[in-house]
Amino acid sequence: MTRRRARHSGTRSSAAATAAAVPSRVRLPAIDALRGLAIVAMVAYHFSFDLRHFGVTQWDFYRDPFWLNARTLILSSFLLLAGVSMVLADRSKRSPAHFRRHVGSIGACAVIVSAASYAFFPASWIWFGVLHALAVSLVLVRPLVRRPVLALIVGAGVIAAGNLYTNTLFDNRALGWIGFMTTKPRTEDYVPLLPWTGVMLLGIAAGHALARKDFRPIAFAEAWPRWMAWLGRHGLAVYMVHQPVLLGLLFLVVGG
């Protein structure tokens, strides 16, 4: 009996050790659903932009506060969630090779976006848009993924600097990707590192804050339709195909 209890005790101890060694989940349905919501908002924004491009509406996406704030909110959502996801990936012990593949796939898609935009909009092609900023920012912020307080402080400083400081020295493509341009360049998408990398850093701080509460504050998103979480899990693919689909449909319905 004593020997059996000892074996059972040893089994429980081994199970506990195994459970402790199992990494945290790298994906959470709530995070995927929130990213899915951001994707829905992005598609709606781009569809509205395309309607303006085809002359169906006269919405001003460059000066109207509604559309400017909508873009800021959508972009901020993606970058915040990217920071939270970095915390999840770190807690799950994802390998450096996985991180390199992740950044490489985003970087490759950024190159494709640049090439495609140059083919269709040679005067305003995307030379540093959201995917370019996302790929570079992931590399830049990774050293702070386990330092939430420092990430919060640096992130706030980056956002402040990017919004408050300008210099004509940066009014060119060679340096404009950093930020500090005095006027928005003529391009279909412009997401400089300052201030936007700061938003991802705030996402790292938010990820740690959520992790301390076992992500309960966002558990409500798990009750959303499953297709939203599916969108969130395949965000990069959706980003790459949604505009060609929208533009193709509008071309068929409205005409060139």
pLDDT of residue 256: 58
Kindly state the percentage of the chain with pLDDT values over 90. Answer: 84
Backbone dihedral region for residue 179 (phi beyond 0: left; psi -120 to 50: alpha; all else: beta) = left
Residue 9 reports pLDDT greater than 60: no
Question: CA-CA distances (angstroms) from residue 150 to 53, 57, 87, 214?
Answer: 43, 45, 14, 21
| Residues 204-248: tens digit of each pLDDT | 999 999 999 999 999 999 999 999 999 999 999 999 999 999 999
Max CA distance (Å), the chain: 84
Where residue 207 falls (left for φ over 0; alpha for ψ -120 to 50; beta otherwise) is alpha
According to DSSP, residue 1 is labeled: -
- Summarised one tens digit per residue, pLDDT across range 166-215 is 999 999 999 999 999 999 999 999 999 999 999 999 999 999 999 999 99
DSSP per-residue string spanning 4-19: HHHHHHHHHHHHHHHH
Tokens for 56? Answer: 């169906």
Instruction: Name the least confident of 7-16, 69-78, 218-227.
Output: 7-16
d(CA 114, CA 80): 24
Dihedral angle of Cα 213, 223, 39, 56, to the nearest 10 degrees: -140
Burial class (CB in 10 A: 0-12, 13-18, 19+), 39: buried
Per residue in 111-139, pLDDT tens?
999 999 999 889 999 999 999 999 999 99
Query: Quick one: pLDDT at residue 26?
Result: 60
